[in-house]
Amino acid sequence: MSRSAAKDREEPVAPPGFRVDREIPMGRHPILEAFPGLDRLPTATRLVTDPADRRRLFDATAIELVAQDLWMYVAPRETPKFSRRGWKPVITPGTDCIVVGESHLRTSPELVLFMDIYHELCHVLQRQGGAELWPPGVSYVQRWTEVEAYRFVVQEARALGVPNSFLRDYLRVEWITDDEHRELLRELGIPVL
């Protein structure tokens, strides 16, 4: 089941205090305009424990709302050596920017947006630490950067009481195969059905 199909079922909710400005206009904005208070959630403290480092992360990170049909991704600083067919990424040299699809921001459940934005913030931190987010020739589900970011948001979701069925749906993204999905579930300790 895809994330969009999961929207039709009753779902767990995002943590108290998580907010989304679903009316924000298209274009680039500070992350806290789109997600007010994101930096004050307990999840932000677990992501970056030092208050000064956390402030720098949220002050320096932007989001760019685009009309493309997509979830979220960290905009590369240059065109990646590999590219999914038809993907024309937003390129942001010198800036940490998370690209967000308009329909995703406007209509996806808050819990999915909560998990996605923190997943992408993990990637921002990884890249700041020197990680290559799009290494050529490495499967999506075998990239340590993806596994680490998913592990973080899965832990956060479990702390909220999110069931494995929701997590299985959340991790079923259209650019991976069924075998890769099962591999990712096993890696994250989520029972495979």
Kindly give the confidence (pLDDT) of every residue in the chain, 193 residues in length, as a single tens digit, with 9 standing for 90 and above: 344 444 445 568 999 999 999 999 999 999 999 999 999 999 999 999 999 999 999 999 999 999 988 899 999 988 777 656 666 788 888 889 999 999 999 999 999 999 999 999 999 999 999 999 988 888 889 999 999 999 999 999 999 999 999 999 999 988 889 999 999 999 999 999 8
Inter-CA distances, 123 with 11, 23, 89, 99, 180, Å: 26, 25, 16, 12, 20
Residue type, 17: G
| DSSP assigned state of 73 | E
Render the burial of 48-84: b for 16+ CB within 10 Å, e for the rest: beeeeebeebbeebbbbbbeeeebbbbbbeeebeeee
Beta pairing partners, 72 = 100
Q: Strands of 96-101's sheet, edge to edge?
A: 27-30, 61-66, 96-101, 72-74
**Full-model pTM:** 0.91
Does residue 19 sit in helix, strand or coil? coil
- Can you tell me the distance from the alpha carbon of 144 to that of 93, in angstroms, rounded to the nearest whole number? 23
